[in-house]
Amino acid sequence: MDYQRVFSKAIERLHEEGRYRVFIDILRNKGAFPNARCFAGHNGPKPITVWCSNDYLSMGQHPKVVEAMEEALHDVGAGSGGTRNIGGNTHYHIELENELADLHGKESALLFTSGYISNEATLSTLAKILPGCAIYSDELNHASMIAGIRNAGCEKHVWRHNDLDHLEELLAAADPEQPKVIAFESVYSMDGDIAPIAAICDLADKYNALTYCDEVHAVGMYGPRGGGITDRDEVADRVTIIEGTLAKAIGVMGGYITADKMIVDVIRSYAPGFIFTTSLSPVLVAGALASVKHLKASCEERDAQQQSASLLKAMFSEAGLPVMDSTTHIVPLMVGDPVKAKRISDILLAEYGVYVQPINYPTVPRGTERLRFTPGPTHTPEMMRELTGALLEIWDRLELRKAA
Ligand SMILES: *Cc1c(COP(=O)(O)O)cnc(C)c1O
C-alpha cells in the first residue's frame, strides 16, 4: 500500500474541484470590529474588514463579556480541571445552565464543549434510548445533526427542506406506535430562511413525535430576549428540545440543549460526548453567562444587526448582484461555481481588504457555491457602499452573471 499516494490523491481531488480550503491568518482588533489584521502578505499585517464572522453581534468583544472572563480567570484560573462528573462541575456551569433554561422557558439545560458536540451527542443518545426510534431530518440540516443521526444507527427519513407535505407523508407512513423525532433548524445558516416551527409542531402533535430544533443561528438574535425564533414565534414550549451554541451570537464558545428535567437528565447520564470530556473552561462559561444576560435585557444589538442586514440586501439588489432570497440577517450572494467563488474571495482580500470566505460543497450543494455575508451592528453604510462597489467591479471583470 502506497499510503503517501492515496493521501496526495485525496488532496489533489479537492484542488481539481476548486474546493481545497485555505484558512486565512487574521487577528481581530478588540473594540474595533469588523476591523482586523491579516497576516497573508509578507510585509507585515494588512488591515481588513471581516464580512463573514459568526460573532454576529460582536459580543466576543463586548466589555461586559471581556471583563467577566478576566474576572473569572483571576478568580479561579484557566481550566475546569475535569469532566462534569469528576472535578469539572463549577458554579459557573450551573449558573449558565440555569440562565439558558430560563432563556428558552425550559426546566433544564445542559452544556457541551461545542454546538457540534451537543447535536451529535444528544441526537445519537436520544435515538438509542428510544427503542426502534425513527428520526425525520430536514435535508438541509447541519453536519453535526447528520453525524448524530448516523451514530444513532436508527431508522432515518430525510424530508425535503421545509416541505411540510413531504414530512407528513413520511410520518403518516410509519407505525403510530413507533417513537419518532423530528429534527430541524430554525434559521438555516447558508440560505438564511426560517423553518415553519409551529406547523412542524402541529405535525409532531398529530403523529405523537418529539421535536428537536437547532437554534444555533438564531439564539441571541431573535425574540424579545434573544431566545431565538422559538422565542419570537412564541413556540418554545411546543418544541421538545432546543439546541444552541455559545460560539456565534453569544460570542464565546460551547454548546447546549434545553428541555424538560427528565430528558436533560437522560442525556446527562447516557451521552458519551457529554460524559467523557473535560468541561468548558470556567473562563469561557463566565463570558457566555455575561453575554446571555446582556442579550436577554438589550435589543440594541439585535435591532442594529437587522438594520445592517436590510441595508446590505437592498444595496446588493439595487446593484443587480445575485443576492439570495434571505428573510434573516444572513446575506448570501449566489455564484454557482467553486472556482469562481474562490476567485472573487481572493480578489476581495488582496485588492480591497475585504474578507469573505467562499462557501463550497459539502457545506452547500454543488452548483450553489456562494459568498455569505454576515453584516452586524458595527458594519457601517460606508463599508457597505465600498463592498458593493468592489463586488460590482469584480463581477464586471470576471463577467459574472447578474441578477435578472
Ligand atoms: C455552527 C453550527 C453548529 C455547531 O456549533 P459550534 O458551537 O460551532 O460547534 C451547529 N448547528 C449549526 C446549524 C451550525 O451552523
Q: Over the range 257-275, which residues count as b (16 or more CB within 10 Å of their CB) and which as e?
A: bbbeeebbebbbeebebbb
What pLDDT is attached to residue 319?
96
Could you read off the pLDDT of 244-279 as tens digits, one per residue? 999 999 999 999 999 999 999 999 999 999 999 999
Residues 311, 186, 287, 144, CA torsion sign: negative
Which residues lie across from 194 on neighbouring strands?
A: 187
What pLDDT is attached to residue 364?
92
Model confidence at 18, pLDDT cuts 50, 70, 90, reads: confident
Span from the CA of 228 to the centroid of ligand 1 (angstroms)? 14
Could you read off the pLDDT of 103-160 as tens digits, one per residue? 999 999 999 999 999 999 999 999 999 999 999 999 999 999 999 999 999 999 999 9
For the record, the C-alpha cell of 355 comes out as 474578507
Span from the CA of 389 to the centroid of ligand 1 (angstroms)? 32
What pLDDT is attached to residue 403?
76
* 215 pLDDT above the threshold of 90: yes
What pLDDT is attached to residue 57?
98
What pLDDT is attached to residue 358?
93
* 206 pLDDT above the threshold of 70: yes
* φ, ψ dihedrals at 205, nearest 5°: -65, -45
For the record, the C-alpha cell of 15 comes out as 484542488
Specify the ligand 1 atom closest to the Cα of 246. 7
Q: What angle do CA 157, 162, 165 make, to 5 degrees?
A: 70
Q: How far apart are CA 364 and CA 369, in angstroms?
A: 7
State percent of the chain over pLDDT 90: 96
Cβ-contact 162, 195 below 8 angstroms: yes
Cβ-contact 183, 123 below 8 angstroms: yes
Model confidence at 218, pLDDT cuts 50, 70, 90, reads: very high
The pTM for the full model equals 0.96
Model confidence at 404, pLDDT cuts 50, 70, 90, reads: low
Our separate counts of H helices and E strands in the chain read 14, 14
Picking from 125, 205, 212, 139, the residue whose alpha carbon sits closest to that of residue 171 is: 205
Q: How far apart are CA 306 and CA 303, in angstroms?
A: 5
Rounded to the nearest 10 degrees, the angle between the axes of helix 63-76 and helix 282-297 is 150
Cβ of 118 less than 6 Å from ligand 1? no
Could you read off the pLDDT of 310-341 as tens digits, one per residue? 999 999 999 999 999 999 999 999 999 999 99
Q: What 8-state DSSP symbol labels residue 43?
A: S
Rounded to the nearest 10 degrees, the angle between the axes of helix 381-397 and helix 300-318 is 30
**Neighbouring C-beta atoms of residue 122, cutoff 10 Å:** 30
* φ, ψ dihedrals at 380, nearest 5°: -85, 160
Cβ of 211 less than 6 Å from ligand 1? no
Could you read off the pLDDT of 50-90 as tens digits, one per residue? 999 999 999 999 999 999 999 999 999 999 999 999 999 99
For the record, the C-alpha cell of 366 comes out as 454543488
| 3-state secondary structure (DSSP) of residue 83 | strand
Helix segments in 194-332, DSSP class H: 197-206, 229-232, 261-270, 272-275, 282-297, 300-318
Cβ of 142 less than 6 Å from ligand 1? yes
| Residue range 183-199: mean pLDDT, rounded | 97
In 114-235, DSSP assigns E strands to 134-138, 155-159, 180-185, 210-214
* 356 pLDDT above the threshold of 70: yes
Q: What 8-state DSSP symbol labels residue 314?
A: H
Query: Atom 5 (ligand 1): residue with closest C-alpha?
Result: 115
Cβ of 281 less than 6 Å from ligand 1? no
